Amino acid sequence: MSDENQEINGKKGGIGAILNLVLKILIGLVLTTTVLTNLFLIYIVVAPDTLPKPFYLQYKGDSTTTTNEGQPTESDVHAENPMEMPAEIHVMEPGEGIFIDTGTKIVNLADEGGRKFIRVNVVVEFAPDNLEYMSLAEEAKAEYLNEFNTEITNRLPVINDIIITQISTKDFQSIYTAEGKEILRAEMIAILDEKLAEFTILNVYFTEFVMQ
């Protein structure tokens, strides 16, 4: 029995030795993997982005993005060079547009008997349809104005008809006051906007307004 026990104990000792060896190998692999992983992370974080990396960190608040080669993207180049960005679109305000003088008109008012009339000169202000108009060079702006004036001249019969027709619906009392003139101005702008849909009307000005 003693020999059998010794043989069993020997087998158990051999298995135990093998298990200990396997355990030591696994622990060694885990430690090695941990060390390599830590070294890899340290390289990613500490090494400059000019060195090759499998990926690059992007920090919150950092608007600069990079490619896998560590070079800024095209959008970053534009962001760092605002002169290369498209010019900001300027929103036209009354007083900044193109002024078209429609000339002096004598119009009978709607008073009974038709004995009241008005001599009026109306200037219509248009917004240019070229969004870069304000930043155009002098020569380019002059060329654009010539083309624009030609287009408006072709539409002057329509514009004059709107002005004369609208004034002829008014009597002396309705446009005699400042409030009456503002109402007439607003009505003209609304009708011009409707009839000349291809243009943008900024304002209408009365440079002469004499009633008799």
pLDDT of residue 124: 97
pLDDT of residue 45: 62
Distance linking the first and last C-alpha atoms of the chain: 144
Instruction: Give the DSSP letter of residue 192.
Output: H
Burial label, 128 (beta-carbon count in 10 A; 0-12, 13-18, 19+):
buried
Say if CB 99 and CB 204 are below 8 A apart.
no
Helical segments of the chain, H only:
2-46, 74-80, 138-168, 172-176, 178-195
pLDDT of residue 186: 96
Say if CB 143 and CB 150 are below 8 A apart.
no
In CATH, the number for domain 98-211 is 3.30.479.30
Q: How far apart are CA 96 and CA 141, in angstroms?
A: 14
pLDDT of residue 98: 95
pTM of the model: 0.58
Cα four-point dihedral sign 125, 128, 134, 140: negative
User: pLDDT tens string for the chain (212 positions)?
Assistant: 555 555 555 555 667 778 778 778 878 777 777 767 766 666 666 666 666 666 555 544 444 444 444 444 545 544 555 455 445 667 788 999 999 999 999 999 998 877 899 999 999 999 998 888 888 999 999 999 999 999 999 999 999 999 999 999 999 999 999 999 999 999 999 999 999 999 999 999 999 999 98
Output 39-46 pairs: Cβ under 8 A, ≥24 positions apart: none
SS (H, E, C) 109-147: CCCHHHCCEEEEEEEEEEECCCCCHHHCCHHHHHHHHHH
